[in-house]
Chain A
Amino acid sequence: MEVVSDRDRRAAEHADAEAAMADAVAGAMLVDPTGAGTHREVGGPPPTDGLAVRAPSGVLSYDPADLTVTVAAGTTVGELDAALAPHGQECVLDPVDDAATIGGTIAVGLSGLRRLRVGPIRDQVLEVRFVTGDGRLVRGGGPTVKNVTGYDLPRLLVGSFGTLGVLTRVVLRCRPRPRHAQWFRSTGNPDVALARCLRPSSVLWDGTVTRVLLEGHPGDIEAESARAGLEPDRAPEHPAGAHRGRISVRPGEVAAVGRRLGGLDGVVWIAEAGVGTVHVAAGEASALTACREAAHDAGGWMLREAGAPGLDGFGRPLPNPDLAGRVHRAFDPTGKLAPGRIPLPQVEVEAEPGGPPR
C-alpha cells in the first residue's frame, strides 16, 4: 500500500521544482549542482562562480510491497532511512555522513562499506530524472527492479559528478533490513573470513585486525562466526583525518597496498577485503600523495575525498578519454555542468554543424 499520504500534491510540487531547475540550468553559463555539501571536496574542485542548482527534497512515492521508493534528489540519506525504517526496509547507500543528499551520493558514486554483499551503489539506482546541460529534463531507466528498456542512464549518472546532468528525482531499490547484524573481529588474515563466510556484508582489514560484518539469521551468524574464528566487536571507526582518500585496486592487491601504507607515518587506513577499496586518512596532505603512489604502484588509483587542496582529484586521466568526452558532450554540449570535477577533455566552444541545439 502506498504510504505517502499526499502523493499527487507532492508530485505536482516536484514537477514545478524540476521545471524551475531546468530553466535555471538553461539560463546559466556555469552550473554548480549542490546538495548538502558533504562531498564538495571529493574529486576535482567545484566551479567557484557557477550557479548553485539544488533539487527539492521529500519521499514522493513508496509502496513497501514494491521494494522500491521514489525520492526527490535533495532528500538526505538520513531522511530517507527514517521513512523506510518503520516498514522494515532500507536503501543501501551508506555514505560516510548520512546528512548527504541522495543526489549527491549518487553523483559522486561512492559505495558504502556493505558493498561486498549488497553490490556497488550503481546497482541500487533504478530510474533517474535529471536536467541536462541544455536545460532539458530527461528520464532514464524505469521504476521496476528489472528493466532493459533503452539505455542504462541510471548507471551512467552514478559517479558522473553532475557533469552529465543535475539529478532531480530517482527511484531506488529497497531491501528488507537484515534481521540481525553484528560486527566481529579476528586477528586472522581477511582471506580466511572471505573464504569461510558465505555472504559477509563487509570484511575490513587494517593491517592487524580483521573486522567482519555479518547480517542475516542469528543462528547463521553464530555458526558462521564460530567457523571463521570471529569474536563479537564494536563497529570499526572510519579512518579520520583532515586529508582523506579512497584507493581502488584489484582485490588481490589489497595486501600489498596495506604493507605499503603500513610503512607510512601519520596514515590511518582500512581496506575492504574482497572489494579492493582502501580508505585512507592522514594529518598531512603530503602523506596522501604517498598513499596515491602506493595505489599506482599496485596498478590502481586514488580518489581525493577530503582535504589536500593542492592534490589532483583523481591523479590519473580518465580511461577512454575520447569516448568519455563524446558521452559528456551528448548531455552537456557547452561544458557548463560542474566543469573540473572530473578530468574530461575540454569541450570545444563552437558547435559542430548539425549538432544538438544550444
Chain B
Amino acid sequence: MCFPDRAEQVAEIVRVAARHGRPFVARGSGTGLAGGATPVGRPVLIVTTALDRILEVDPVARVAWVEPGVLNLDLSRAVRHHGLHYAPDPSSQQACTIGGNVATNAGGPHCLASGVTSAHVLAVEVVLADGTEVVLGGLEPDQPGYDLRGCFVGSEGTMGVATRIAVRLVPDPPAVRTLLLDFTSIDDAAATVSGIIAAGVVPAALEMMDAAITRAVEDFVGAGFPRDAAAVLLVELDGLDAGVEADAGAVAEIGRRHGARTVRVAADEAERALLWKGRKSAFGAIARVAPDYYLHDAVVPRTRLVDVIRSVTEICSSYGLTCMNVFHAGDGNLHPLIVFDAREPGIWPRVRAAGDEILAACVAAGGVLSGEHGIGIEKREAMALVFGPDDLDAQARLRDAFDPDGRANPEKVLPRGSRCGELGRVPEGTWI
C-alpha cells in the first residue's frame, strides 16, 4: 500500500509494479458503492489522499488544476471567494475525491442542469499501466484526434491513474430558489416531475424521496420534512431573477395541479442548506432504521420512473425486505435502498437476489446499470444484461489499448469472458 504525496511518485510506483508484473489499484476516499476501488488479487494499492493540493486556480479562464486527492467540496470552498464553484456535487462531496469522481464520472443532484463530471473535466494527466505519463485532453476547446480524455473519465481506474486534473469552474448563480413539495401519493409526485419537464423547465436539481426515507431523514435532521408524506420533491432553480421567479411559479403551480399538499419555498440560505442537508443525509439517516443497507444506482428513462418504482417495491416485498427510495428524479437515476440487519441469518442471499431483480427490471424498462457509482466489482456480471458479446468485446479491446497486460484495476467493469474467444483470462500476476 502506497501513499504518494507527489504526483511524480505515482509514476514511479506504477513502473515498479510494471517491472514486477503486479496489478495496481488507485483509491481515493473509497466512497464509491460498487467496489471500484476495492483491491482484488493483492494489487499494489495507490492511495491518493495525500495528493491533495489545489495546484492552480485561474478565475478568469475559470479553470483549476488539482491533484486527485482533493476533496470535491474543498475545491468549491477554495474558489468561493471568486464567486465560482465546481458543479458536480455527489452526496458524499464532503468525503469523496476529485480523482474518484473522474474514475466514476460522478454525478450529484446538480448534474441535472449542469452535466456530470465528464462535462467538467478539461484535461487529465494520467500514468498508464506501463508507467508512461500522458496528458489527455487540454485547455484548448478541441484536440486533434480521439477524445481520450472522455474515454478515461468513468473508466474506473482500468485505464491508468490520474495524477493532475484540470476542471472547469462555473459562476455562482445570483438567484437560487429551493422548493419542497409534498404529496399523498408517489404517482402524483412523479406526474409533477413529468409536468415540470413537459413545461420546458430544467431545474438545477430535481430530487424525490419516498415516505420511508422522508421519515428517516426527518427523524435524523429535523429539517421540517412532512413525516406523513407519501413522497416529497426537492426542486432547485437557479439563474437570473426573472427566469427563476417564473420557473418557481410554474413548478409550484404544476405541483398543486397534481395534488401537492404544501409547497414550501426556502426563505433564506440557512433554510435552503437545511433542506439540502436532509437530502444529502439520506444514507446516514438509514442507520436509525437498520444497521445495513444495499444501494442500487440504476438509471431509467424518466417516463418509466413510476412503473419501475412500483416494480422495485413489489420485488422487495416478495423477498420480505424493506426498501426506501431516494433518487435524482429529474434524470431518472434511482437509488433504491434495501435496508436490513446483516446479523439476521440468511439475509444476504435474499438482499442480493432482490438487488439482481431490481437491476433486471430497470434494464427491461430501457435503463442502464449505473448513473454515478459505476460498475466496479459489484455489477460486472450484470453488464451482460445491457450489452451483447460484440459490445463487450469492443470495450475489452479499448481497455487493452490503454493497458495491454490488464494490470490497472483488474477484475473490474467488464465481466469475465468479455473478449471474444476469451476463456477466463486472468491478468498476469493476479492471485486468485
Residues of B within 8 Å of A177, CB to CB, are 200
Q: Of residues 361 to 375 in B, which have CB atoms within 8 Å of A's CB atoms?
A: 366-375
- How many angstroms between the C-alpha atoms of A303 and B143 in the bound complex? 10
Residues of B within 8 Å of A199, CB to CB, are 239
Q: Of residues 194 to 236 in A, which have CB atoms within 8 Å of B's CB atoms?
A: 198-199, 216-220, 223-224
- The answer to the question of A318 belonging to the interface, with a C-beta cut-off of 8 Å to chain B, is yes
Which of the residues B128, B368, B399 comes within 8 Å of A147, measured between beta carbons?
B368
- The answer to the question of A182 belonging to the interface, with a C-beta cut-off of 8 Å to chain B, is no
The residue in A142, A176, A218 that gathers the most chain B C-beta atoms within 10 A of its C-beta is: A142
Contact A252 B332 (CB under 8 A): no
- The answer to the question of A351 belonging to the interface, with a C-beta cut-off of 8 Å to chain B, is no
- The answer to the question of A181 belonging to the interface, with a C-beta cut-off of 8 Å to chain B, is no
Contact A323 B402 (CB under 8 A): yes
Contact A323 B398 (CB under 8 A): no
Contact A65 B194 (CB under 8 A): yes
CB within 8 Å for A343 and B144 given contacts A150-B387, A150-B413, A330-B397: yes
Which of the residues A140, A220, A299, A331 comes within 8 Å of B391, measured between beta carbons?
A140
CB within 8 Å for A122 and B61 given contacts A109-B142, A149-B375, A320-B134: no
Q: Which of A46-54, A72-80, A95-103, A155-163 contacts B (4 or more CB under 8 A)?
A: A155-163
Residues of B within 8 Å of A155, CB to CB, are 118, 147, 150-151
CB nearest neighbor in A for B394: A138
Residues of A within 8 Å of B151, CB to CB, are 151-152, 155-156, 327
CB within 8 Å for A152 and B150 given contacts A66-B303, A138-B390, A220-B239: yes
- The answer to the question of B222 belonging to the interface, with a C-beta cut-off of 8 Å to chain A, is no
Q: Of residues 327 to 355 in A, which have CB atoms within 8 Å of B's CB atoms?
A: 327-331, 342-344
Residues of A within 8 Å of B144, CB to CB, are 301, 303, 314, 316-319, 342-343
Contact B140 A300 (CB under 8 A): yes
Contact B147 A220 (CB under 8 A): no
Which of the residues A120, A149, A327 comes within 8 Å of B370, measured between beta carbons?
A149
Contact A119 B155 (CB under 8 A): no
- The answer to the question of A9 belonging to the interface, with a C-beta cut-off of 8 Å to chain B, is no
- The answer to the question of A63 belonging to the interface, with a C-beta cut-off of 8 Å to chain B, is yes
- How many angstroms between the C-alpha atoms of A156 and B399 in the bound complex? 13
Q: Which of A10-18, A30-38, A243-251, A284-292 contacts B (4 or more CB under 8 A)?
A: A243-251
Contact B374 A148 (CB under 8 A): yes
B 376-396 binary contact with A (CB < 8 Å = 1; else 0):
000000010011101111110
- How many angstroms between the C-alpha atoms of A230 and B395 in the bound complex? 49
Interface size on B, residues (CB 8 A): 87
CB within 8 Å for A144 and B242 given contacts A150-B375, A150-B395, A319-B135: no
The residue in A63, A67, A248, A316 that gathers the most chain B C-beta atoms within 10 A of its C-beta is: A67
Contact B375 A144 (CB under 8 A): no
Which of the residues B58, B145, B239, B420 comes within 8 Å of A342, measured between beta carbons?
B145
| Nearest CB on A from B313, distance (A) | 21
CB nearest neighbor in B for A165: B394
- How many angstroms between the C-alpha atoms of A64 and B368 in the bound complex? 19
- The answer to the question of A326 belonging to the interface, with a C-beta cut-off of 8 Å to chain B, is yes
Residues of B within 8 Å of A57, CB to CB, are none
Q: Of residues 159 to 184 in A, which have CB atoms within 8 Å of B's CB atoms?
A: 159-160, 164, 175-177, 179
CB within 8 Å for A145 and B369 given contacts A65-B302, A150-B375: no
Contact B146 A327 (CB under 8 A): yes
Contact A248 B150 (CB under 8 A): no
Contact A275 B141 (CB under 8 A): yes
Contact A136 B140 (CB under 8 A): no
Given A324-B145, A326-B402, 11 more A-B residue pairs with CB atoms under 8 Å apart are A148-B370, A152-B150, A153-B395, A159-B145, A216-B243, A248-B140, A299-B140, A314-B144, A318-B144, A326-B400, A356-B420
Closest 6 CB pairs of A and B: A155-B150, A219-B242, A176-B200, A217-B243, A330-B397, A326-B401
Which A residues have a C-beta under 8 Å from some C-beta of B? 63-68, 88-89, 109, 111, 115, 119-120, 122-123, 132, 136-140, 142-153, 155-156, 158-160, 164, 175-177, 179, 191, 198-199, 216-220, 223-224, 246, 248-252, 272, 275-277, 299-301, 303, 314, 316-320, 323-324, 326-331, 342-344, 356-357
Which B residues have a C-beta under 8 Å from some C-beta of A? 58, 60-61, 104-105, 107, 111, 115-116, 118-119, 128, 134-136, 138-148, 150-151, 153-156, 171, 173-174, 194, 197-198, 200-202, 239-243, 246, 299-303, 328, 331-333, 366-375, 383, 386-388, 390-395, 397-402, 404, 413-414, 420-421
**A/B interface sample: 27 pairs, CB < 8 A:** A138-B391, A139-B391, A143-B368, A144-B299, A144-B301, A144-B333, A146-B107, A148-B373, A149-B375, A152-B155, A155-B150, A155-B151, A156-B146, A176-B202, A191-B60, A198-B171, A216-B243, A250-B139, A252-B58, A276-B141, A277-B142, A299-B140, A301-B144, A316-B144, A319-B145, A326-B401, A357-B420
